[in-house]
């Protein structure tokens, strides 16, 4: 039997201890990290590459549902088993592509069944209903992760196979397409160029540069950004309604 690497993420110490005790009784299980919130769960997964994350839903900061959506975009992708005191989140849990959903207090036989499902997990997953939108983007930094609040982002600029996220604390690279970000956050960002999305709240004015091209002036931008001709009319409307 292959050993399953497990991360436990729960903000309640007693719940963490109970899960750890139950897992200690399971054959072929290695608990590689025990953490108290979603952000630390992502860091633990980046470091240990677990097979499964036992994830609470109601946690401070980033909750379990958003954590699961970030994990779904990572490689290697761990299975997620939610462990929660509330059964009202079941639909959202499976929309986040969890493999199982355990209601606290978790019973040993249900945990064993969930671990067996993980062992039999195949790579094929249904898309299902789209999950609720993220509140952070996730950048990889030399094996660790940095979470960037969407509210802190000034603009997103495509460069080769990466997107550069310009935000309140600096710049980070993410491996997502500009098109998918526009589809997910279309009410928060507006396209000014084929390679650039700008946060709507950052737009201050449009002006014509020395070369005759239209530029967008940002609230926190160090320099204006070039606007493509096809985007000018839409941007003029946006700024008129600010």
Confidence of residue 138 (pLDDT cuts 50, 70, 90): confident
Domain end call among 94, 119, 144: 119
Q: CB–CB of 173/164 below 8 Å?
A: yes
Is 64 a domain residue?
Answer: yes
Decide if pLDDT at 100 tops 70.
Answer: yes
Is 200 a domain residue?
Answer: yes
Decide if pLDDT at 129 tops 90.
Answer: no
What pLDDT does residue 96 have? 63
Per-residue tokens: 173: 């690279």
Decide if pLDDT at 65 tops 80.
Answer: yes
Is 186 a domain residue?
Answer: yes
DSSP H or E stretch at residue 111:
helix 108-119
What pLDDT does residue 93 have? 56
Is 23 a domain residue?
Answer: yes
Q: The pTM is what?
A: 0.57
Query: Do 115 and 156 belong together in one domain?
Result: no
Query: Do 102 and 187 belong together in one domain?
Result: no
The whole domain housing 219 covers 152-240
Decide if pLDDT at 16 tops 90.
Answer: yes
Is 105 a domain residue?
Answer: yes
Query: Do 18 and 113 belong together in one domain?
Result: yes
Cα atoms in the 13 Å half-sphere on the side-chain side of 113: 8
Is 49 a domain residue?
Answer: yes
Which candidate, 186, 200, 210, 199, places its Cα nearest to that of 237?
A: 200
Domain end call among 74, 103, 119: 119
Query: Do 156 and 113 belong together in one domain?
Result: no
What pLDDT does residue 127 have? 39
Per-residue tokens: 22: 């139950």
CATH of the domain at 32: 3.40.50.2300
Confidence of residue 175 (pLDDT cuts 50, 70, 90): confident
Each residue of 147-173: pLDDT tens digit? Answer: 788 999 999 999 988 999 999 999 999
Confidence of residue 144 (pLDDT cuts 50, 70, 90): low
């Amino acid at each position: 039997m292959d050993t399953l690497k497990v991360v436990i993420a729960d903000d309640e110490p007693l719940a963490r201890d109970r899960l750890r005790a139950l897992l200690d009784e399971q054959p072929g299980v290695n608990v590689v990290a025990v953490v108290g919130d979603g952000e630390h769960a992502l860091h633990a997964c980046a470091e240990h590459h677990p097979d499964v994350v036992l994830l609470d839903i109601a946690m401070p900061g980033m909750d379990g549902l958003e954590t699961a959506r970030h994990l779904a975009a990572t490689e290697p992708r761990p299975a997620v088993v939610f462990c929660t005191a509330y059964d009202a989140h079941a639909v959202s849990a499976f929309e986040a592509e969890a493999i199982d959903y355990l209601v606290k207090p978790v019973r040993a036989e249900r945990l064993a069944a969930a671990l067996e499902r993980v062992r039999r997990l195949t790579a094929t997953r249904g898309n299902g209903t789209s999950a609720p939108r993220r509140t952070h983007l996730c950048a990889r930094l030399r094996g660790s992760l940095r979470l960037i609040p969407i509210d802190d982002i000034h603009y997103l600029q495509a460069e080769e196979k990466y997107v550069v996220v310009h935000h309140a604390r600096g710049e980070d690279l993410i491996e997502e397409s500009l098109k998918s970000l526009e589809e997910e956050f279309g009410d928060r960002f507006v396209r000014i160029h084929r390679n650039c999305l700008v946060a709507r709240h950052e737009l201050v004015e449009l002006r014509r540069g020395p070369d005759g091209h239209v530029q967008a002036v940002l609230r926190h931008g160090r320099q204006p950004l070039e606007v493509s001709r096809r985007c000018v009319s839409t941007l003029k409307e946006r700024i008129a309604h600010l």
